[in-house]
Amino acid sequence: MKQLQCVVFAAVAAVMLVLPCFTADARAGSVTLNYANFPPAPTFPCVQMERWKTQVEKRTEGQVRINTFPGGTLLGAKGMMDGVIAGQADIGCLCMAYQPGRFTVTNAVSLPLGIPDSKTGSVVLFDLYNRYKPAAFDKVKVLTMFTTAPANIMAKGPVRNLDDIRGLDLRASGGAADILKAWGANQIGMPMSATPEALQKGVVQGLFSSLEVMKDLKFADDCKYVTMTNTVVYPFAVVMNQSKWDALSPEVQKVMMDLAREQAEWTGAYMDGHVENAVAWSKNRGVEFIALDDQQREGWQEPLAPIIEEWIKKARGKGFDGGGIVDTISGMIDKQGK
């Protein structure tokens, strides 16, 4: 009996000695990456982040683990690109509209060119990047790109025509300043998170953004009128530190590249569905949505033509074919609409 006990003990001891070796070997090929994002967790840029994380971990069969940091807990909005380049985060999601002078080519999708929805905008942006491969991204690896849904006017009072918008203080960011100026409104720059308090205190009378925020940030409680201008989208990019990318195995790199365009399409479709849900939710809370007929839409669009012309001129001054970029985007929009 004692001899049997010794044999069993020896066998268990052998297994305990070998098991850590197997565990170490299993973990030796794994990679952990930190992914930074700046908006709150429930918002669409972070929803797409979690979806991307899940897909990468699943498709690499656990070779890659991703820690996500929403809400600016690792990097803030304006420091995202440089933070990823410096290695403060392995991956980061940035809104290019926050740095209009840095991302000239890709920010062209935020011109008032008639992008009808987020899925169209996301695919056009992704294809535009791959067409031109702008030098602004030379120090990082681009993993995907996407856009918001088109911006509309959310306000405390009704904006039914251009006379109603003149003199209004509206929160907006990026190139939206030029659009609001062309309409006679005043662009007020501030973080989206500060806007609810600004609305309540009367610092702004509304905002110019995509409509998911009516539900996500409860703007429907203060902005009881939405004017459907469907004017411009805001472009986003997900980028990775180049050294971290180079250290990945070819198999993992292929998984991420195979996911790149798919992620752009998925995010756009998700965003469009989320906006529809936010609109329905807002209507149930008594928000009036003001539609523009074709004649009215032309009247709103007419003051915006000089913005496109000025952008083309400035792009040429920086050495870009501004007219060609605008024509390329217009052609891509038409192609997506067919």
Is 177 a member of any domain?
no
Whether 272 is in a domain gets the answer yes
What pLDDT is attached to residue 174? 75
- How high is the pLDDT of residue 27? 41
Regions in the chain scoring below 50 on pLDDT: 1-28
CA gap 103, 148 in Å, rounded: 17
Q: What is the pLDDT of residue 268?
A: 98
Residue 296 lies in a domain: yes
Q: Assess if residue 82 is contained within a domain.
A: yes
Rounded CA-CA distance 232/151 in Å is 5
SS3 206: strand
Question: Residue 56's domain spans which residues?
Answer: 32-148+233-302+314-338
pLDDT at site 16 = 42
Number of domains observed in the structure of the chain: 1
CA 330, 144, 267, 152 dihedral sign is negative
Q: What is the pLDDT of residue 6?
A: 44
Task: Please tell me the distance from the alpha carbon of residue 137 to that of residue 133, in angstroms, as a whole number.
Answer: 8
291 membership: H or E segment, kind and range: none
Residue 220 maps to a domain? no
Among candidate residues 115, 118, 98, 96, the one with its CA nearest the CA of residue 107: 96
Q: Please provide residue 16's backbone torsions phi and psi, each rounded to the nearest 5 degrees.
A: -65, -35
Order of strands across the sheet with 91-95? 64-69, 31-36, 91-95, 235-241, 140-147
Q: What b/e string do you get for 54-87 counting C-beta neighbours within 10 Å, with b at 16 or more?
A: ebbeebbeebbebebbbbbebbebebbbebbbee
* Count helices and strands in the chain by DSSP H and E runs: 13, 11
CA distance 288 to 200: 19
Q: For residue 77, tell me if it sits in a domain.
A: yes
Give residue 325's identity as a one-letter amino acid code: I
Residue 17 in any domain: the answer is no
Which residue type is seen at 302?
E
Q: Which two three-digit tokens encode residue 177?
A: 């300043």
Residue 199, C-beta contacts closer than 8 angstroms, at least 6 positions apart? 156, 205, 206, 207, 219, 222, 223
* Distance in angstroms (rounded) separating the CA atoms of residues 136 and 50: 26
Give pLDDT, residue 262: 98
What type of residue sits at position 176? A
CATH of the domain at 125: 3.40.190.170
DSSP annotation of 141: E
Instruction: Assess if residue 221 is contained within a domain.
Output: no
Q: How many CA atoms lie within 13 A of 258 on its CB side?
A: 10
Sheet architecture: strand order including 206-209? 186-188, 169-171, 206-209, 152-155, 225-227, 288-290
Return d(Cα 329, Cα 307) in angstroms, integer. Answer: 16
Sequence-distant (≥ 6) Cβ neighbours of residue 292 within 8 angstroms: 227, 228, 229, 300
- Predicted TM-score of the model (pTM): 0.87
